[in-house]
Structure 1
Amino acid sequence: MGKLKALLRSRWFWRALGAILLGLLIWFLGPLVSIGDFRPFEWWPAALFFALLPPLVVAGAWLWSRRRAQRRNAAMIEALKPGSPADHDEIAAKLVEALDMLKSARLGSERAYVYQLPWYAIIGPSGAGKTTALLNSGLDFPTAVAGEYRALRGQPNTPNCDWWFTDEAVLIDTAGRYVTQDIDAAADAEGWRSFLELLKRHRPLQPLNGIIVAIPAPDFANKTAMAAHAGNIRARLAEIRETLGQDLPVYVLITKADLLSGFREYFARSTDAESDQVFGATAPGTNPDSDSVLRGFDALVTSVSSRLVDRMQSEPQLPLRAQMAGFPGQLASLRAPLATLLAALAVRSRFDEPARVRGVYLASGTQTGNPVDRILLGAGLPALASAQAVGQGRSFFLKRFFSDLVIPEQGMAGRNPAAERRTRQRYIAGVAAAGVALTLAIGLWIWGYSRNMALIHSIYATASAYSEATGGAAAGTSVEQDLAALGVLGKATHDMTEAGDFGLGLGQGGRLGRELRGVYGRDLQRRLTPILVGLAEERLAANGTAPAALYDDLKSYLILGGRGPTLDEHVLAWVQSAWTARGGPGAESEAGELARHTAALFDGNFKPVAIDDARIETARAILRTQPPAVRVYGRLKTRAIEKGEPMWTARDNAGPRPELFFDGGGAFAPGAGVPALFTRAGYERTFLPIAASGPKLLEEENWVVGDTGVARLSAAELGALRQDLERLYFAEFLSRWQTYVASLKPRPVTSLADNVQRLRDGSGPLSPIAPLLRAIAKATDLTPGKNVPKPQASAVLPQSGVLGAAAKTAAGAAGAAFAGGGDPRRSIVDAFVPLRIFVGTAAAGGAPSNAPVDALMTTMGQLADKLNVIAVLPGGGGATGSQQSLEAKALILQLDQSANAMPPPAGLWAKAVASDASVALGGARLAQMSGAINASFGEQCLQLLSHAFPVRPAAAAELPLDVFARFFAPQGQFARFVNDDLAGYVDTSTESWQAKPNATEVGLTEANVRALQAANLVTRIFFGGDPHSARLSYQVEPVALAGAPSVTLRIDGQTLTFDGKSPIPVTFEWPGPGGASVEFATTGTAPEVRSWPGQWAAFRLMKAAAVKSGASPAIGEGSLTQAGARFDFRVRTFGGTNPFVLDPFVKIACPSATTGQQSALRRSASPLVQTG
């Protein structure tokens, strides 16, 4: 009956029962379920699977749960084992044996593992009688050792912690010093912490189910001891709550109650049933407070008092009655210290929660020692001796305390929230996973069913499309119809193969696919083979003059006719190339489709077809006219290509970033490369083995060409055949490499900065140049091992310098490899030995150190640095820019000239780089000069000077003096332009300025230089005395006067009068107030006057006088006329040049920003010359 009750209380029983009922429901009612026309459980295997799934899932979960409980139980027991017991310690050995038994033991009516039982910890001060209480608890201890109940002691890290395993609970008797921690505080605290960590580690969800606090009754008479107990117990309970994360019920057990005066006498005549019951006060509810516990205790005292009379009447001995009469008072005296204890445990703070005290209980294990009269002690009187002070009696109020109170309330213990949350998450995840699995299975069945229906519909669609493609015509009626029909079947077969046979047993793709492949195979035989035979016959007729192509055509024709081995790969390649060669719209796509059908034909049951013997003999006769070596070489290449070796490509051998330097087209285009056959590896691994079997190839081709008499070839003929094969191979080897190498080109550049970047990429650590050149040299190096004469490298290599020395060394090494001569590899070695010398792999050992290619990259790096300096120079860079430009040109010239001695393709790359750098340098310098002109004064000069007098003689507007000084002063804009921007391009050290040889790179011409020197002449004339202000002193000397009695000359407020008789020179200063005039006196009429306004009036007057050179450069002669009168004079300046004679403004031109190859200095649109 007990087993039946336990079964009905088991959760797993109800889970299993529910799973079985669900399975039966699916099995019997599942076939009735439909989703539209789809019945997922109609097929009995599907219904059986889903019917068995719930019970199997529950069974699996039960097995997993049981196994997990076993593991945890074993881990917990293992943690409690002591170290290896000594051989003489029989008790310790039995302890280990008992623990091993507990690993798999199932205890109690629930048949639970130790791990699954409720666990309780008993704490209290030393001597509280905790062990005695446990020994008298009336619980069953299955691990009795050595004939008595023994506690199972833990490992050394918890040396004084006793574990009592019963069939109903696990009781942990902790050492009293764990509570008080008054002997070795650090060790005791560590032991206590280890004990709690052990519980938490092995029982994470619910480490404990309750705490029993044991305090001996005599301690209640000691206020100091009780205060200490309260503090220590509160601290331990807080540590339990913090470490384990549980809110546990606390049972306060007052032990050694028999030491209360009158206890033994009061309960002496109690029956066993009465002494086994619980004696104490349990507070109502699950979260009682201290007041409710105290009220319960008061009720307990009242109950004891109410029964005192009956107890005393039943006791015949008067002394015992006296002891008995005082027991209610003794019990009541416990209330005050008990209230103090409960108050301490119930304190709530920011850092701690109050203990959940379930109740207060009294118990007595064995009656030993003298009772204590708390009332007499409180009054300071000596206690009376008890009549039963000595001896041993029975236990009171313990047997049902554990079994009827503590253990039944195991569910009141809280769980560790974090562990519970993890468990809940795992449970939810497991349920979700099961749901997902179930949903996925149902979804897969539905999907499989829908796919099957789709496949069936596709079969109907294929039949309809096939009928439409053929139009009801028989096979062979039309090539277009046959291809269309085969395309329909081929696509359907491919789709069916891709669809597979998935659906958890519902898939029908396999059966449908087999049927469809059978139809497709029969149609291939009926429709495709006639197309292939017709194509072969068409090609045989067309290629009568092309034996190389004719061989492949005949070979395919014979294979289709069953006259040779079934070489499907040959036929596939032939079909694609032959059909593509026919041309026409869509030929390439049709060729690919034909190739796919042909592959399917040979994958199936291909049956040879009838072919024309006359065509075969005609083709064979043509093929026999071709030299055997040519035929064999063609087959050799075909066989090598069929091996599928990857092509040698520059992209795979130029390092990680070839696009940094090389153009992405040409040799780097997708699909470009050299077949692997034409490399050293291809020569050794492919060509030599196949070439060695040349006679065998001739013999093998007998079934194609017919009997060629190969068996009658002599040894000399066979040797000649091998030599012919080698000559053909090496000729194509050299041709392919020369063509491919010539297509390797540097990437195009668009600017000077792009040139710099390409040069840096080509010379930097990721440069693809050296890796690519070395890879080419390695792939083309067919040098034999040893003992050969030196090759003729003198024709292609320099004879002096570093490269020449390397050439001689390499030529000697390579020549030694050809001792004896006649080696056909010599042409390849001679062609590529310059490259191997260049990259440093031609010397013994092939060490690439200090190779000429390194010098190339060094030069490129230096040129990149120079061009970069020029690119970032502000404006034209002045003398610095000129010097950097000259150095860059020297490097470009060096690179261009050294390219002549470099082997291809390095020489071609070097020349291309040098040419691009030269062009970019010129364009950059022009652009920089244009920027310098714009930045300095070009446009301002045109706006301010070119339309003002005296730069433009005919202009009415005049040049302000401050603007004049801004442009022509010694530190003016003309001077700064020459000294800063053109310092490296104009030689100003001579009397006549000259353009330097590098002036053309900035567009500077001799005419530009003369214009700039004219500006310098203006500076010297007008600013010789004062570098900040224009000044000019000149003297006018009258020479002659005609047609007037006198003449008056006024310039800038200064006057000269001449009557024709006494010429007195007058000195004038410019600038002045401005204005100039000449006045001729007349008789009886107003004088004739001619005047000029403005600051530049003196210069306008001199231009009107047409001053010409005189006896020296400083003297000029001029004449002014008006109304028939004439005044001749000399004008003299005190400097080297007379500006009135040699007008310095005539040759002045403004610099202008230009582009392309135009001059960077030009004249303005209007001529800046004196016109009259």
Structure 2
Amino acid sequence: MFKNNFVKRIGPVLCSRWVVSLVGLFAISLLIWFGGPLIAIAGTEPLVSEVSRLVVLLVLTLLWGAINIAHQARNKHQNAKAVKTLLDGNDEASLLNEATQREIETLRTRIVQALTVLNGSVLKRGKSVYQLPWYILIGPPGTGKTTALHNSGLEFPLKDKLGDDPLAGVGGTRHCDWWFTNQAVLIDTAGRYTTQDSNREQDSKAWFGFLGLLKKHRTRRPINGAIVTVSLVSLLTQTRTERNLHARAIKHRIQELKNQLGMHFPVYVIMTKADLVAGFSEYFADLSAEQREQVWGITFPEQADDPERGVVGMFNKEFHHLLERLVGRMNERMQHTRDIDKRTLIYEFPKQLRLIQAAADDFLKEIFSPNSFEEAPMLRGVYIASATQEGVPIDRVMTEMAGGLGLGSVPLKQPGSESKGFFIKRLFEDVIFPEQYIGTVNRHHQKQNLWLKRGVLGGCCVLMGIMGGLWLTSYKWNKDLVDEAAIAVAQYKQVVTPELTSKTDVITLANALDLLEDLPAGYNGKMLDSDAVKHVGLYQGDKIGQPARAAYERGLQGFFAPYLIHALQQDMKENSAYLEYLYETLKTYLMLFDHSHYEEEQVLSWFALYFERTYPGEINEPIRQSLMGHTTNLLELGIVGVQQDDDAVELARGVLTQMPLAERAYQRLKMDFMDSHIPDYRLTDILGSQSQTVFQRLSGKSLSDGIAGLYTYTGFHSVFQLENKRIVKRLMEDSWVYGDKLQLGEATKQEVMTAVNDKYYRDYIYYWNQLIGDIQLVPYSSAAEGLYQMKVLSGSERPLQSLIVSIQKQLRLTELPISEEAKAAGEVAGHAAGVAMQQKKTRITRYLPSEMPELESALPGAQIEEEFADILAIGDVEFNALNESLTLLHNYLAKLNSTGDNDRVAYKSLLGETSHDDLDANLSQVGDVIPAPFNQWLGELKKQTTKLAKQGSKVHLNTIWQDAVVSEYKKSIKGKYPFNRRSKRDVKIKDFGRFFGYGGILDNFFITYLEPFVDTSKGQWRFTKNVGVSETSLQLFKQAQRIREAFFEPGSKVPHVEFGLKTVFLDQHISNFRFEFGPQAMIYRHGPTRVSSFSWPDTSQTAQVRLVFTPPQSGHAITKTYKGSWGLFRLLEEAARKRSKTRKDKMVEVELKGNRATVQLLPNSVVHPFWLRDIERFSCPMTL
């Protein structure tokens, strides 16, 4: 149900206009973003840059939003226009008296409020009143049109503000009601509009005026369908002439709708007031609210198989099928109805409808039968419905029968006052509303669209003529462009024979580049025209210009750029003695490859000087200008495809390495002092020989593998702090050797030292994190091993505390090293100087600005202390707590290891009789105050100790389980009936009671050993504390409890079950049936059924169940015996195998040699042992 509702709600949203258009916009956006760079138009790639694509996507998004807003505004305008027309109509205002006009004005005020709410509300799929499908209801007066809509169960958006009533009097007439649902607008016309029998002229004018209003303001599809209502009472009571008159009136109204609105639409016939057919209310009284919403009727195909008869010719056949469905359900309804009068009405109900069939068929054929003179209406279906259960039903069957016998008819009772809608809601929601587009559109509207298409086609033809003239003009100009390009290419081939190479002289190269630069539409833009006419369709400028520009750029990059680079390299090589010139040349060379330092003036100045030295004199002025022009163009493009000659640069600058200054300083520091005289930090130097046996490295490394001395407290203060400054200073003074001149302005000495510090601190933290995280305690698997480890850890060496203290000393780098003598002297001198210093501080403080910011400074090594702040925070309180925990753990393991029965001690500790809970709580508490990874060590100790306790507890419990329970189970229970259905040996009643009874073996074991640890307050038992027994074992004791509750009285070890038997069927040819259960018996002789009471087990020595069938004449009884105390259960099991429903309805069918009897088993309690599956599933495992 939830899934269907969800699909029903989310489906329309996903199919809505804005969602579909948004998905399309997203798809186009993806295509533009990922496929745009691949699109080239005449050599131009308009979407290659991200900015251009973002602009296009932004324009598309704005366009999409504008279209949606315009669409919503148009719908809103159409809706407001339709509503205004409906509100302003006054077709009959002149015929009304003053009192009636006041009534209409009041209704109009209410409708204004209602439509205001509608305009501000979101209906289904976000549609407005104008967009919703409109349906018109027609039918004679009193056919229940309004009542059917009122009780249809449809959703009305105005319900919260205006209730469930319709909006009456809209459109200037008081004779139609407008129902606004969230799916459609339903126009309930007055019945007199259909019959036009009260004031024919006035009704006809009002009807045609109303149709004109619909056609005017819903041009394309004025209505989506028509709903014709006819009362079943009318079909039952009217004469043939009266029915035909109503049918013809309805047919005329439908034809008028088709002619006036100019469209073909579906027609749905609803036969109302079905509740007035005798038996309707009784027949459908058992339907739920959801069942009452279903569709009951006939839906015809759109096209009839026989065009001469039309779809209405199928009515009798389909109506017969409806009657068959009613007859098929009648027996079920009569079985569930005890009232004889209601059963009579239910029985007669299909006949009542059968009497209506002929009248309904005549009525429908009068309206919908096709003929040669007019097009038959589109009959989509005929449906039966009831909106309210009021009035006295009509019983045609009893009336005709009584009339035939000359008897008076008995009036039927009027049904209750409660009104329910039958077969209406889903008729609208699942049949009528989904077919809102099945009808055609207005023919006049179609003609308008046709003329609009013709106008667009004519405009396209005119546009094609204009474009043809523009293309002809463009063709002539572009042909001239192609001819000029051919001439220029021919000139180029004359100059360059056969083609440019790396050995071409510079004069030829310059001339060739001049020709390539001057190609039409090429690099310099020769013959490019901005006239839009010449660019229409046939423009060849881009097609010719792109390869022309590409050819010139290839010439620059492929031949001219190597020439310039070679000139620079040659000058660096030949002028190494002239340092200043070499510097300028090297600077120019590097600028061509390093754009961050590029200066166009510097590069152009150098090449201008070079060309003057190479080609001096006025005679070479043209060649110099040509070379400079090509140089400028090349620099604008940027040199690509030419690699920097590192060897030439190394010769010129003496570059030894490209490594940054800070990195070189740090690597030099490590190279010089990694293997210095400062000793490494090793765990073997901290831990004693005995303590080393309880520690290990997680990585498998030896405890003697430590941290290099450079990354210890001594290495930091004795080496790094001193050598860092010296090495950085030396490298910066010699930086010109390494080619760092251009970096000296950016990287000051302090910045380099800071960078070296950061690298050292990073490695310092890394090495110590690796070591600390790699240390762990050796795990133990027995109490003896654990006791030894705790003896070491809690001994006098205190290895854990010693290890943590030694690590803290290596990490507390802000404490400066000082000797004891210097420390004592400093205290004396410091006290003497303190007074004088305080006086000077007070005097200087007066001159400080009031808003001077405080200086931020950190001592060397503070970053490392900050990283390990948690470890450095461990003090005496934490160490005392840690040592106390180790002592408690030592004492606990000592108890586990103190006696020969360690498993029992482990179980007792979990039971709470020893200190396991206290130990567990203490380890958890200490673990919360000690940081990682030391708290993880405590966690491992806790986990290993708990595991030992659980293992011991499990062994202890399973020992008792096997001795006390499993042995008795094997001896008395296993393999016997009823635990083994195929076994011929029965479990003895005493053994059964001793094993399963209250205080029995299973119950006593559970209460004694497991109940303190199990929560039995809920249906699913669970352990409150893990004692080494699996959770699945609790199912065994849960099964045993259910068996105990079924077989035993509370507190008893003796099984006792009381039940009753009642014979409900016995073959007619059997004189009597006897059920013997030991001394207890039940005899049945085809008389009234009585319940016989029995109790199990049978305590007599000949315990058995005996079935006896006695025929009336033969005198030979037919018997069958089920021996043993469990014979009753064997009988019940056999009956359940033959008939699967026996377990549910407890009807035991007995059959001996073709003689059958059915006995009903009546347990005295809901909890009973009969067919108890826990019996056959029960099995004791060897271990828990």
- TM class by shorter chain equals 0.3 to 0.5
TM-score scaled by length of structure 1: 0.36
TM-score scaled by length of structure 2: 0.36
